[in-house]
A and B are shown apart, each in its own frame.
Chain A
Amino acid sequence: MAERMGFFTDSSVCIGCKACEVACKEWNGVPDDGFVFRATSYDNTGQLGADTWRHVAFIEQDDRWLMSSDVCKHCTHAACLDVCPTGALFRTEFDTVVVQADICNGCGYCVPACPYGVIDRRERDGRAWKCTMCYDRQLGGLEPACAKACPTDSIQFGPLDELRARAEARLERLHADGVAEARLYGDSPGDGVGGTGAFFLLLDEPEIYGLPPDPVVTTRDLPEMWWWAGGAAVTLVGAVAACFLGSRR
């Protein structure tokens, strides 16, 4: 398997231009998300969804205007993948999580499973859609469209280990420059989703950016449940068999 690849989104250099949103749509043929003026700063696409795979949040504070480009986290423990009954969702050789549109039957189990509210069903075709980290581009050795377009390199793509080291260095520098609130989000393998393939440098609390402060994989108890379910099934099979055996007598 290839190295685990990821996104490091450094919001401290984001200029909120939304090139990532557009480059993503151009490459992936994602439809527009409607023309709605939301009166929420410069954000008119609202949130990640079936038709918006990169989303730039704009947060207006007293003397700051924070911007950050959100995306699917490509979790280490991905609940969407765990619950997908068709195998439409799968983990690639780059350790990213991708929906296969030709397999997805639109059951929608993945939608509530995502602790970030990322994956979403598209009204017009019923199927689930989200960021693929431009899987097709990666197969050709290209970086994802959003990372390539990003004018200030706020979105960086690469081997996750390298990105984490780079992010640590950037954080140290910001702390040294007195930006005390700067923090990484999603970089820790010890968090509730086992760390994310797409992680962030934020300048404030994650909630400010609309990110859950402590995401937990919704299928955390699934193996245990499987164990119990399995046990129950064995018991059931045993009981049914006993019935048959009994009846033969």
Chain B
Amino acid sequence: MADGGWISRWPVIRQLKGEDGRRDAARSARTDALRPRTEEADTVARSVCPYCAVGCGQLVYVKDGKVSQIEGDPDSPISRGRLCPKGSASKQLVTHPGRQTQVLYRRPYGTEWERLDLETAMDMIADRVVRTRRETWQETHEGKEVRRTLGIASLGGATLDNEENYLMKKLYTALGAIQVENQARI
């Protein structure tokens, strides 16, 4: 900012001083201070768009613990920094107000959601898996050994990471759950 206080920045003064009234003389202090907010990011993570399977590179800028911008990664030989409207909306995807951040529980025959803390929910789910597995265990089927349960099923989306799919399949298989499916089929 120029010296001389706010009065010296008053456009009329600056115009009288000979600056072009429609160019520099009109600039506000805020305008003078403008920079791309990506320059202020604390961290930049190299990510990949979560929508379709093209695999466009994304740069995720974080400032003060919040995502401040997501845009294309120009280094990517796949996307060359470009993104479609969905990819371009990724910041909204991860920050929009409709995102749920709390565990919710609906008891049998219940009419409303209730709050449940995460630890309790995890314990309750584990209890149900163990119980249902025992109740529905099949050692044999039509005289053949099957060692499985048809009582527990799973359907995953195809935005799951490979590591996540791997743990899912590994755990379900060890528990004998076979109806493990994914968007990849449907």
Contacts and interface: CB of A to CB of B under 8 A. Distances in A.
In the complex, are there CB atoms of A and B closer than 8 Å? yes
A2 interface: no
Interface in B1-59: 11, 20-28, 30-31, 34-39
B25 A87 contact: yes
Interface stretch (B77-85, B107-115, B121-129, B139-147): B77-85
Interface in A85-124: 87-93, 98, 100, 102-103
Q: Give the bracket for the number of chain B residues in contact with chain A.
A: 20 to 34
Contact of A100 (B27, B35, B36): B27
A92 B81 CA distance: 26
A67 to B, nearest CB: 13
B34 A87 contact: no
A19 B36 CA distance: 20
Nearest to B71: A148
A150 B35 contact: no
A149 B31 CA distance: 25
Nearest to B39: A140
B71 A87 contact: no
Given A26-B69, A26-B88, A140-B36, A100 B31 contact: yes
B89 A22 contact: yes
Q: What is the predominant secondary structure among interface residues of chain B facing chain A?
A: mixed
Interface stretch (A131-139, A191-199, A240-248): A131-139
A136 B37 contact: yes
B34 A135 contact: yes
Interface residues of A, number: 32
A148 B31 contact: no
B169 interface: no
B83 A87 contact: no
B91 interface: yes
A239 interface: no
A149 B71 contact: yes
Contacts of B31: 90, 98, 100, 102, 135
Contacts of B11: 87
B82 A150 contact: yes
B10 to A, nearest CB: 9
Contact of B88 (A22, A91, A93, A137): A22
A145 B71 contact: yes
Contacts of B34: 135-136, 139
A171 B13 CA distance: 47
B26 A149 contact: no
Contact of B21 (A87, A148, A150): A87
Interface string A134-159: 01110110100100111100000000
Given A137-B36, A139-B34, A17 B85 contact: yes
A18 B86 CA distance: 9
A103 B29 CA distance: 10
Given A19-B85, A136-B36, A142-B38, A148 B72 contact: yes
A100 to B, nearest CB: 5
Contacts of A92: 23
A64 B139 CA distance: 63
A81 B22 contact: yes
Interface string A18-56: 110111001100000000000000000000000000000
Contact of B38 (A90, A140, A151): A140
Contact of A23 (B20, B25, B28, B88): B88
Nearest first, the 6 closest Cβ-Cβ pairs linking A and B are: A90-B26, A140-B36, A87-B26, A23-B88, A22-B88, A22-B85
Given A27-B69, A90-B23, A135-B34, 9 more contacts: A17-B84, A19-B83, A22-B88, A26-B89, A91-B23, A100-B27, A136-B34, A140-B38, A148-B82
27 contacts: A19-B82, A19-B87, A22-B86, A23-B85, A23-B88, A26-B70, A26-B91, A26-B92, A87-B11, A87-B25, A88-B26, A90-B23, A90-B31, A91-B23, A100-B27, A100-B28, A100-B30, A102-B28, A139-B36, A140-B35, A140-B38, A142-B36, A148-B71, A148-B82, A149-B72, A149-B87, A149-B88
